[in-house]
Amino acid sequence: MKKKSFPLANVYGLLETGPVVLISTSHKGIPNIMTQSWHTMIEFEPPLVGCVISGNNHSFAALKATKECVINIPTVELAKQVVAAGNCSGRKVDKFARTGLTPVPASLVQAPLVAECYANLECRVVDTRLVNSCNFFILEVVRAWIDPAVKDPKTLHHRGKGKFMIAGETLKLPSRMK
C-alpha cells in the first residue's frame, strides 16, 4: 500500500469539510461497510469524532459489540460504490464483494481499511452515553493513513436522495483559526 501514516493532530482537516465516508467494521470475522454523512469533529487531539449510526444499520450491532471501526474517505471516482454500499444491507449482502472495494488489514483495530479510499482513520469507541437515545457514538481516531499523492481530494458531500456535491476549488484566506 502506498499510504503513509498521517499525524493525528491534522485529522480534523479531513473531516470538518463534511465528506461522505465509508465506515467499515468487522464482527465475528465478517467485514462490512456502510455509507455515512452524519459525523462531526468533537476534539482536535486526540481526535474525537461523533457519528450517528442508526439502529437499523447492520453496522450498529458490530460497532456496539466490537467498539472498533475505520472511517474511510472516498473521492468522486468511488461515487458508484458509495451509493451501492448505501443501498443494501450487510445483513443480506457481502458489501465488499458487491461493491468490488478491497478490505486491507488495519494496524490497531480488527475492522479493515478500504484500500481505494484516499484516507483511512482507525477508530475506537470511547463514549456511548448518547447511543441509546440518539444512536450517537464518540470515536477516538487512534491511527490515520493517507495517500500522499492526493492534495485537494474531490470528496463527495451528500445533499440528500443521491444528490452529491463534489468538492470544488480551494480558497485560502489569512486566518488565525485552527
> Rule CB under 8 A: which residues touch a copy of itself?
10, 12-13, 16-19, 35, 37-43, 48, 50-52, 76, 79-80, 83, 86-87, 127, 129-130, 133-134, 136, 138, 152, 154-178
DSSP run (H or E) holding 161: none
Q: Which residue has the cell 451509493?
A: 83
Nearer to a copy of itself, 28 or 149 (CB): 149
Nearer to a copy of itself, 38 or 67 (CB): 38
Cβ 105 to a copy of itself shortest distance, Å:
29
| Alpha carbon 178 to chain centroid, angstroms | 22
Cβ 45 to a copy of itself shortest distance, Å:
13
Cβ 44 to a copy of itself shortest distance, Å:
10
Counted residue by residue, the chain has a size of 178
Cβ 110 to a copy of itself shortest distance, Å:
25
Nearest to 14 by CA among 113, 110, 155: 155
Nearer to a copy of itself, 104 or 124 (CB): 124
Nearer to a copy of itself, 141 or 156 (CB): 156
d(CA 111, CA 122): 8
Maximum alpha-carbon separation in the chain: 50
List all residues 6 or more positions away from 48 whose beta carbon is below 8 Å from its beta carbon: 41, 42, 126, 138, 139, 140, 141
Nearer to a copy of itself, 29 or 56 (CB): 56
Report in angstroms the alpha-carbon separations of 167 from 14, 146, 161, 170. Answer: 12, 18, 18, 9
Cβ 146 to a copy of itself shortest distance, Å:
13
Under 8 Å between Cβ of 51 and 39: yes
